[in-house]
């Protein structure tokens, strides 16, 4: 029996082409010497140099990285705590309401979330800037962290924590020394997911950002409305390269960890 029929091959080819041909075209035209992005005028890397001298884009990129690091770290801490409370603390008063409030941002339209946060910041007199963007991104990304960590805690062997408690550990020590190292891959995955969502966000950031804090998606969107410039193609190509390198590194690390785990199991079984 053939593993792939002709229909499957054609469907797979069309799907991959639909996803990646636009990216290939973007990368190719980032090396276009012409300022017109639709007219090829020869190979050139001058737009990468222009991008590195564009202070507006560099400042927006720095704001985006700061917001991503702080918001994803805060969201990881809060999301992990929420997941631990939901999964390991059993039933408690208000658990259903608490879980609903945690998961609500998953299905809430971004426009509603952004507008409600804007009204909140105005009501409490908090000036919009980096802090408000960090708080906004933490609000909607912590629920994703909670989902990822919860899925790992569901399959976690509770007897390991109980053994640590029997040996004299306090509940916090048992969590820090036993639970956290085991669920650390899920926690790291949640952090990476929150960081990616923060980098990608446009709608919520447009509501909560102020004149002194413009993220890169907002800057790119405002620039594209006036016409696509070769600098945006260069910027997008850099991001594609960084994402590709990150995916390759994650794949290599995952394969090595699986290989080491398999070898340890064979040694233990032998």
pLDDT of residue 267: 60
Query: In the chain, which residues have pLDDT < 50?
Result: 1
* pLDDT value of residue 223: 80
pLDDT tens-place string over residues 86-120? 887 767 777 778 788 888 888 888 899 999 999 99
Structural tokens at position 217: 């998606």
The first and second tokens of residue 139, run together, are 């609000």
The CA distance from 255 to 260, in Å, is 9
Taking the C-alpha atoms of residue 51 and residue 36, their distance in angstroms, rounded to an integer, is: 16
User: How high is the pLDDT of residue 1?
Assistant: 46
Architecture per CATH, 54-229: Orthogonal Bundle (1.10)
Look at residue 97 in the predicted model and tell me its pLDDT. Answer: 81
Q: Are 20 and 243 in contact (CB under 8 A)?
A: no
At CB < 8 A and 24+ separation, what contacts does 85-92 make? Answer: 86/146, 86/150, 87/150, 87/153, 87/154, 88/153, 88/158
pLDDT, one tens digit per residue, over 193-217 is 899 899 888 899 999 988 778 888 8
Model-level pTM? Answer: 0.80
* pLDDT at residue 76, as a whole number: 93
* 182, 184, 190, 93: CA torsion to nearest 10: 50
């Amino acid at each position: 029996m053939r593993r792939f029929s002709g229909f499957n091959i054609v469907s797979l080819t069309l799907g991959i082409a639909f996803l990646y041909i636009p990216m290939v075209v973007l990368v190719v035209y980032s090396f276009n010497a012409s300022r017109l992005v639709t007219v090829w005028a020869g190979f050139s890397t001058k737009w990468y140099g222009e991008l590195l001298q564009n202070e507006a884009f560099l400042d927006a990129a720095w704001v985006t990285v700061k917001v991503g690091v702080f918001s994803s770290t805060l969201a990881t801490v809060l999301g992990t705590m929420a997941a631990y409370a939901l999964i390991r603390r059993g039933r408690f008063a208000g658990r259903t309401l608490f879980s609903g409030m945690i998961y609500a941002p998953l299905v809430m339209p971004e426009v509603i979330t952004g507008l409600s946060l804007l009204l909140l910041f105005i009501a409490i007199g908090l000036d919009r800037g980096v802090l408000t963007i960090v708080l906004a991104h933490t609000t909607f990304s912590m629920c994703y962290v909670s989902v990822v960590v919860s899925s790992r805690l569901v399959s976690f062997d509770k007897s390991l924590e109980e053994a640590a408690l029997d040996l004299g550990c306090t509940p916090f020590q048992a969590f820090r020394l036993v639970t956290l190292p085991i669920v650390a891959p899920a926690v790291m995955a949640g952090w990476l997911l929150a960081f990616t969502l923060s980098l990608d966000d446009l709608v919520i950031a447009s509501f909560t950002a102020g004149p002194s804090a413009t993220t890169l998606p907002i800057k790119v969107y405002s620039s594209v409305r006036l016409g696509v410039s070769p600098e945006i193609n260069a910027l997008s190509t850099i991001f594609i390269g960084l994402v590709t390198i990150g995916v390759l590194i994650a794949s290599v690390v995952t394969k090595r960890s699986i290989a080491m785990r398999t070898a340890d199991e064979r040694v233990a079984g032998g």
